[in-house]
Amino acid sequence: MSFRSTLRAVVYKVLRHPDSEVTLSARCMSGADGGCCWTLDATADLKTGSIAMIEHTAATGHAIFARTLEDMACVMLDSPQEQARRVAVNRLELAATEEHARAGHP
């Protein structure tokens, strides 16, 4: 196992994972003492989800919802050069670990 430290500032960014889709779920917060049990199951069709909330409001007069939007995120280095450098170092470390294991060391 190797230990590395970085003495310079490294900037990361958070992006939506390219294989991810945004999903919407909701629940009605209206009604006497929050008594409404209406919920919207998670859906990737955000427009349909919004329409379902509108229809619930039209039918009941309930207009307050708790919404949850969810997706998968990934954290990446902001610098492509730093990202490439780290990938290369990780590959070298993995190769060294595999070589060590092949040599019969625990």
**Tens of pLDDT, residues 48-76:** 999 999 999 999 999 999 999 999 998 88
pLDDT score of 2: 40
Distances (CA, A) of 34 to 14, 31, 69, 98: 35, 5, 21, 58
Domain ranges of the chain: 21-72, 74-106
Would the pTM of this model clear 0.85, i.e. be above it?
no
**Helix, strand, coil % over all residues of the chain, rounded to 5:** 40, 25, 35
The model's confidence at residue 8, banded by pLDDT at 50, 70 and 90, is: low
